[in-house]
Amino acid sequence: MHRRLATGLAGSALALATVVATATAAGAVPADKPQVLSSWTQTSASSYNTWVSARNNQSAWAAYQFDWSTDYCSSSPDNPFGFPFSTSCARHDFGYRNYKAAGTFSANKSRIDSAFYEDLKRVCNNYSGATKTSCNGTAWTYYQAVRALG
C-alpha cells in the first residue's frame, strides 16, 4: 500500500513538474526577439513592409510581447500638409518603445531615426514636382526633430 501511494505521488509530482515547465516555456519570450526587432527597424523598404505586415497581424507575434502602442507623430501632425506620415511615425514609436524596454535604446536610436527618415522619404516618393519637394522638406524637419528631441 505504501509503495502504491509513493508511486502515485511520484507520478503526480512528475505531472505537476511537466505542467509547470510547459507553462513556463509558454510564457517565455522567444530567444530571437532581438533579431526580429532589429529586422523590423532597419532603413530598407523590405524592413518597413515586413513590420507593416506584422503590425497588421499582431496576434501572430503575441509570444514576443512587443509594445505596439503608438501616439503616431506625438505633438506634430500625423499627416502634415496631407502627407500620410502616421504609419512611419507608428514604426518609429515601435522602435523607440521596444528598444527602451530591452535596455538597448541608446545603441539603436540613430538607426531607428534613420529608418524613420527613409520611411518618410518613401511616402514622398509618391509625389512629384513641387509637392515632392515640399514633402521631402517636411520629412527632413520631422527627422531633425526626432534626432534632437526623440
Q: pLDDT for 57-87, tens place per residue? A: 999 999 999 999 999 999 999 999 999 999 9
pTM, entire model = 0.82
Active site residue 2: no
Cα(112)–Cα(93) distance, integer angstroms: 9
Scored b (16 or more CB within 10 A) or e, 51-84 reads beebbeeeeebeeeebeeebebbeeeebebeebe
Helix (H, G, I), strand (E, B) or coil at 97: helix
pLDDT digits (tens, 9 = 90+) for 106-148: 999 999 999 999 999 999 999 999 999 999 999 999 999 999 9
pLDDT for res 144: 97
Q: What is the pLDDT of residues 13-57, one digit of tens each?
A: 444 344 334 334 557 999 999 999 999 999 999 999 999 999 999
Nearest to 138 by CA among 90, 81, 96, 56: 81
95 vs 13, which has greater pLDDT? Answer: 95
Query: Which residue's entry shows cell 503608438?
Result: 70
CA-based nearest residue to 74, from 20, 142, 129, 125: 142
* Nine cell digits for residue 49: 513592409
CB of 67 within 8 A of CB of 101? yes
**Closest C-alpha among 29, 48, 38, 16 to residue 125:** 48
Catalytic residue among 83, 92, 120, 146: 92
| CA separation for the pair 60, 77 (Å, rounded) | 31
